[in-house]
Amino acid sequence: MMGKLLSAEFMKIKRKGIWFLTVLGPIGVVAMQMVNYGVRKEYLFRQNDDRWGYYLDNIHSFTPLAIVLGIVILTSFMSSIENETNAWKQLMALPVSKMGVYLSKFTVLSVLLLISSVLLLLFTLAFGISLDLGGEIPYAGLLKYSFYPFFAALPVLALQLWAAAVSVNQGVPITLGILGVILTYAGYALPDWLIWKWPLLMNDWEEPLINVLLGGGAGLILYAAGMIDFVRRDVK
């Protein structure tokens, strides 16, 4: 059943601008550094001898914001597909389980964000090479900075999906989303337990992997809680 649901979901996101956003996100993040390095390349090269590392840090300064913003926009687009003409009732009157429907939405969003992450990796690598940063290419760091934020942001994804799927008024998930983006933006000054800070990959132990594990764990819990609530409710 999951396969059928997923192929139906991927069909429904056609012409919604969802694929466009998926590509635009990583382009935006790298484009910021294109401007940055385009304007003051020499100055930036002088800042740190590890030019690749410094470049990756610069890239990562916009990734968390882009991923949280992306999650907010994608979840709201995704749920608008059903909310627009209240097609939930039509979808749920088909022989599908509510859990299956919820899982298929979550899966599609995860796949889109993973595609964004892969693109981020490729764009970062390509622009990095074109900058002629010198030294060896730090593939481990590249992978880390491309995929860790996605896993660290899973709780935000679970939370936004739940809010968008159960709210009759879409102002609720949008408000929550804007709040989340602001919290991510101000993440440096916030305590570690706030899920919106996690994509920054900062913590007291200076070990980004903790954010990944926390993200996966908390994401799973929030996902399960959201799904249970979604299943329990009457269809809108």
CA dist 164 → 14, 40, 102, 159, 195 (Å): 19, 42, 11, 9, 18
**Which one, of 48, 46, 175, 66, lies nearest residue 116 by Cα?**
66
Q: Does residue 7 touch another protein according to CB under 8 A?
A: yes
Is residue 4 close enough to count as binding another protein by CB under 8 A? yes
Binding flag, residue 16, another protein (CB under 8 A): yes
- Asked if 168 touches another protein (CB under 8 A), the answer is no
- Nearest to another protein of 9, 208 (CB atom): 9
3-state SS assignment for residue 60: helix
Q: Give me the least distance between CB of 71 and another protein, in Å please.
A: 21
Among 48-56, 57-65, 94-102, 175-183, the segment contacting another protein (CB under 8 A): 94-102
Does 81 help bind another protein (rule: CB under 8 A)?
yes
Applying CB under 8 A, does 12 fall inside the site for another protein?
Answer: yes
Structural tokens at position 30: 């790298």
| Amino acid occupying residue 170 | Q
| Contact indicator for 56, 105 with CB cutoff of 8 Å | no
Under the rule (CB under 8 A), what is the footprint of another protein? 4-5, 7-8, 11-12, 14-16, 81, 84-90, 92-97, 234-235
